[in-house]
Amino acid sequence: MVAGLPVTTLARTALDISCRYPVAKAVAAIDALARATDLKVADVKLLAERYRGRRGIRQAHKTLDLVDAGAESPRETWLRLLLIRAGFPRPQTQIPVYDEYGQLVAILDMGWQHLKLAVEYDGDHHWIDRRQFNKDIGRAEALTDLGWIDVRVTAEDMEGGVIARVSAAWERRTCSEGGIITKFPP
């Protein structure tokens, strides 16, 4: 009870969301909940085990396996899920990148650090805010100098185009790295 009103725990709220909403929508909501609170997916999975026969519980397990508190927006969640559905390995989120002096250059939305390949979602503020736009130019140059490929995605990009661009970057990176992975995705 909070102020005389019955409430659920974080874990119960996440379980209810994961059972009741489509996977992509549920993952985005639980990503945000996990980022804003101390929600632990392990606690939700434990609770889900107690309700094995509940309607939507199979979907809940699928949803919970996709949750990542590193997503800073629903569009970042959308982008991460798109990459996973396309067959890419699950990307790491919020990757810190430092220069040769140990100074933080950027925190990348997601990517594969071992390949120095990032994929980032740029919301409207990256284009509307002049200060942010100029900062992004310097940031992009610094990342390139440090050997990173940074694929930037906006709301205007179509799913197929995003997958094609990331696939091309993946191919460039893996071919130039001595064949870490020969072919990906199919």
Q: What is the mean pLDDT of each run of 10 residues along the chain (186 residues)?
A: 89 97 98 96 96 94 97 96 97 97 96 97 69 81 95 94 97 71 47
State the residue for tokens 């927006």: 73
Number of domains in the chain: 2
Do 96 and 152 reside in the same domain of the chain?
yes
- Which domain, by its residues, includes 25? 10-66
Judge whether 52 lies within some domain: yes
pLDDT computed for residue 125 by the predictor: 57
pLDDT computed for residue 2 by the predictor: 83
| Domain end position, chosen among 20, 41, 66 | 66
Do 118 and 151 reside in the same domain of the chain?
yes
Judge whether 95 lies within some domain: yes
Angstrom distances, CA of residue 8 to CA of 14, 16, 34, 65: 10, 10, 15, 21
8 A C-beta contact, residue 139 and residue 118: no
Do 127 and 48 reside in the same domain of the chain?
no
Q: In terms of DSSP H, where are the helices of the chain? A: 10-20, 23-36, 41-50, 57-66, 74-85, 125-128, 130-145, 159-176
Total-model pTM: 0.86
pLDDT computed for residue 186 by the predictor: 44
Do 172 and 109 reside in the same domain of the chain?
yes
pLDDT computed for residue 181 by the predictor: 47
